[in-house]
Amino acid sequence: MQFEKTFIPDLIVIKPRVFEDARGYFFESYNRKNFVEAGINDDFIQDNQSLSEAGVLRGMHFQVPPCAQSKLVRVIRGSVLDVVIDIRKGSPTYGKHFSIELSEQNKTMLYIPIGFAHGFLTLQDQTLFSYKCGDLYNKSAEQGIMWNDPDININWNINNPVLSDKDKTSIQLKDFDSPFKFKS
């Protein structure tokens, strides 16, 4: 596996080593030893999966402490534009976003530590998205930042995505008092 740091501290792109032949392909999507060696010590305790049609936008979600979640995300089928926002107070990249295309073709994964809002836009029908989480889902701890917050200015390349009712009522980052602290 190849672990690549991004311009946002602690956010890591992971490219697995893929073995392909006439039968198909094989790759390790998670190996605790390799992740620990790369500085990712999370204890992933819940796996989630979603299926979406093209144009569905899920995000920008996070859970507040004490139920905050780290995530390891990837696409099994189809493709997404995956986006995270750094919401850690004191971070040199607070309020900045990072985006990457994750697809079944590139098999790239993204490690998202605690202190980030996360979302994705499906680019193909029947996109199957998978994520490991560092804590259990807790509805009362769940919050969100507006997907189209003008201060963050994410280029989703879509005007009217399919949104849940919850995602239509998220708040702007400027109205969010973040409980997350950046640890240098």
Asked whether 118 and 61 are in contact (CB, 8 A), the reply is: yes
**Active-site position among 25, 30, 61, 137:** 61
User: Which entry of 25, 30, 131, 137 is annotated as an active-site residue?
Assistant: 131
Our answer to whether residue 61 is catalytic in this structure is yes
CA–CA separation, 139 and 118 (whole Å): 16
Cβ distance 87 to 94 under 8 Å?
yes
Q: Are 14 and 3 in contact (CB under 8 A)?
A: yes
| DSSP secondary structure of 155-174 | --S-SS-B--HHHHTPBPGG
- Does residue 97 carry a catalytic annotation? no
Calpha distance 128→153 (Å, rounded): 26
Neighbours of 163 (CB within 10 A): 17
Q: Are strands 127-133 and 46-52 parallel, antiparallel or unpaired?
A: antiparallel
CA gap 158, 127 in Å, rounded: 17
Do the beta carbons of residue 115 and residue 183 sit within 8 Å?
no
Write out the catalytic residue numbers. Answer: 61, 131
